[in-house]
Structure 1
Amino acid sequence: MKLTFGKNISKYRKLKNITQEELASKLGITFQAVSKWETGQTYPDITQLPNLSDILEVSIDKLMGHAVYEKKVSIYEDEYARDDYYWGLIPSTMCYKVLSILPPAKPFKLLDIGCGEGKDAVFFARNGYDVTAFDIADAGIEKTKRLADKLGVHVNVFKADILDMRLDTCYDILYSNGVLHYIKPGLREEIFTNYRQYTATNGIHVFSVFVVKPFIPPAPENESNAHTWISGELFSHYSDWMIKECEEIIFDCNSAGIPHKHAMNRIIAEKIPW
């Protein structure tokens, strides 16, 4: 599931709202050269990499598809490092939706996007799904592995950043609960296009995302890398799929030890062949 160098250049260029012509001008080259980089026909000269990194404001490692984490990138890293489970061990109600809509009559391939400490991923594995999962928190990945081992199941879990991760393997089920707010608005269309592309025919997406409401105060965590969604935005990515369920809920939460509320959109959508 690696990004090519060219696709990374294109992605970060678009995030900066820079055209190929503008990037070429800043680098003193032709826009055709930039186009060839982005389509994978050629690669930049090594001497161009520092300038390219400065202009796009992204490290050379990330441009080349290697995520390097020099500091904690999740506020939950310390929470997950504790012996207890921050989110508990009871599976989300969304897990039971998956069981009812696409029960494991065969070992369907399921991807848990942002698995946290692994309670949902392990639940799916115990019920017969072929589960792959990723998260950005090292402590969460280790907890997922330990929980799977304890319960005698296998989960293919690894570390990845949702912003950099792109699929190149097809799945029957894509699942994510309360993680998609880490996707920057400028990347959402690209990422969801990738998710849709690598979903098997008659496969499903089961997603939830926090939405902003003027009558609900911001969450106490105040994460700098979280980005707001608006009501209905999640659903708009599935205009050509069968939307089996979509809903908006408001619920109480006690994360960070401070009682508060969240608004959330949930969707279950199926990829129907045309």
Structure 2
Amino acid sequence: MKDKLAKNINRYRKARGLTQEGLAQLLGVTYQAVSKWENEQAFPDITLLPEISKALEVSIDKLLGYVSYDKQVTIYEKEYTTPDYYWGIKPNSDCYKVLEFMPPTSHLKLLDIGCGEGKDAVFFARNGYDVTAFDISDAGIEKTKKLADLVGVNVKVFKADILDFRLSTQYDILFSSGVLHYINPNYRKEIIDNYKKYTNNGGMHFFNVFVQKPFIAPPPEKEPNAFIWRSGELLSHYHDWLIESSPEVIFDCHSSGIPHQHAMSKIITKKV
């Protein structure tokens, strides 16, 4: 717990634009105390946690590294509780790009970031990848496990918030579709850098993000925790990797029952 608390105080302090001294002044402690917290040399007094939570504008649960299980955290949680699969079970077309660029001719570890109901994660497992996946939706995780059991494959799936979760083990492939817009702009560089660090040499990322275009109306879904990316923004994080593909596409969508369009930037990139 100490390491998570230390990292989270450091992370959220920087996100608020506070120095160690600035946070110390808000809390009425010395900056040396804040430094010791962030370097895992000491715990803050338990009575200070509410004040730290208030200063950093984050819940105590998040400070301690816990994801809340008692409230709806995504607009799709309700849809995921139905017997049918909201997104269907047909894999995203981008999954076939993974097969094209990194076929599982050897043992390859793949992470599906924001797996939803698991259709893509299960597809990868069926094709021979060693698959780990996470999502913030309890219902989505259960649907992923159910689909994997139905197909007869193993997917290691767990619950995590994309804003809080950081990799600590190496992977060969990172895949994410329609999820990275949940990353607040203040955290994008740190999170992408973490993903890059824990990707093996020769490994690849297959990502896409929704981008804002003035000629496309906002989507009908009202997502309070979504942040649209700018064209070229995702690509800018990979200036030091080999860019295999980076198209921008516009496509029709009926996910809400209301026909609309999305603009999306995609990237296929390799660590060399």
Partner of 1:208: 208
Matches of 1:136 and 1:52, distance apart in 2: 24
Partner of 1:112: 112
Deviation string for 1:187-229 (max 9, x for gaps)? 0011011101110110000000000001101000020000110
**TM-score normalised to structure 1 length:** 0.96
Q: CA deviation at 1:70?
A: 3.0
Answering whether residue 51 of structure 2 is matched by residue 61 of structure 1, we say: no
Residue 256 of structure 2 aligns to a residue whose secondary structure is: helix
**CA contact 2:53–2:59 (8 Å) conserved in 1:** yes
Residue 229 of structure 1 aligns to a residue whose secondary structure is: coil
**CA contact 1:109–1:130 (8 Å) conserved in 2:** yes
Partner of 2:161: 161
Q: CA deviation at 1:32?
A: 2.1
- AA aligned opposite 2:189: E
Matches of 2:271 and 2:94, distance apart in 1: 18
**CA contact 1:3–1:166 (8 Å) conserved in 2:** no
**CA contact 1:207–1:267 (8 Å) conserved in 2:** yes
Matches of 1:3 and 1:220, distance apart in 2: 40
Q: CA deviation at 1:115?
A: 0.4
Partner of 2:138: 138
Answering whether residue 84 of structure 2 is matched by residue 92 of structure 1, we say: no
**CA contact 1:77–1:137 (8 Å) conserved in 2:** yes
**Distance verdict in 2 for CA 1:264–1:203, change over 3 Å:** same
- AA aligned opposite 1:76: Y
- AA aligned opposite 1:23: L
- AA aligned opposite 1:145: K
Matches of 1:192 and 1:38, distance apart in 2: 21
Aligned residues: 272
Residue 105 of structure 2 aligns to a residue whose secondary structure is: coil
Answering whether residue 58 of structure 2 is matched by residue 41 of structure 1, we say: no
Matches of 2:3 and 2:216, distance apart in 1: 38
Identical positions, percent: 65
Residue 257 of structure 1 aligns to a residue whose secondary structure is: coil
Residue 110 of structure 1 aligns to a residue whose secondary structure is: strand
Residue 255 of structure 1 aligns to a residue whose secondary structure is: coil
Residue 111 of structure 1 aligns to a residue whose secondary structure is: strand
Q: CA deviation at 1:51?
A: 1.1
Question: Higher mean Cα deviation, 83-92 or 114-123?
Answer: 83-92
Q: CA deviation at 1:46?
A: 1.8
Deviation string for 1:52-91 (max 9, x for gaps)? 1111122222111112233100110111111111111111
Partner of 1:250: 250
- AA aligned opposite 1:83: P
- AA aligned opposite 1:115: C
Alignment of 1:115-130 (within 5 A): 115-130=115-130
Partner of 2:71: 71
Matches of 1:189 and 1:28, distance apart in 2: 31
**Distance verdict in 2 for CA 1:97–1:125, change over 3 Å:** same
- AA aligned opposite 1:55: A
- Runs of 4+ in structure 1 off by over 2 angstroms are none
- Consecutive unaligned residues of structure 1, counting only runs of 5 or more, are none
Partner of 1:51: 51
Partner of 1:190: 190
Partner of 2:199: 199
Matches of 1:6 and 1:215, distance apart in 2: 44
**TM-score normalised to structure 2 length:** 0.97
Partner of 1:5: 5
**CA contact 1:3–1:165 (8 Å) conserved in 2:** no
| RMSD across aligned positions (CA) | 1.4
**Distance verdict in 2 for CA 1:137–1:3, change over 3 Å:** farther
Answering whether residue 27 of structure 2 is matched by residue 27 of structure 1, we say: yes
Matches of 1:15 and 1:53, distance apart in 2: 13
Partner of 1:227: 227
Matches of 2:40 and 2:229, distance apart in 1: 33
- AA aligned opposite 2:160: A
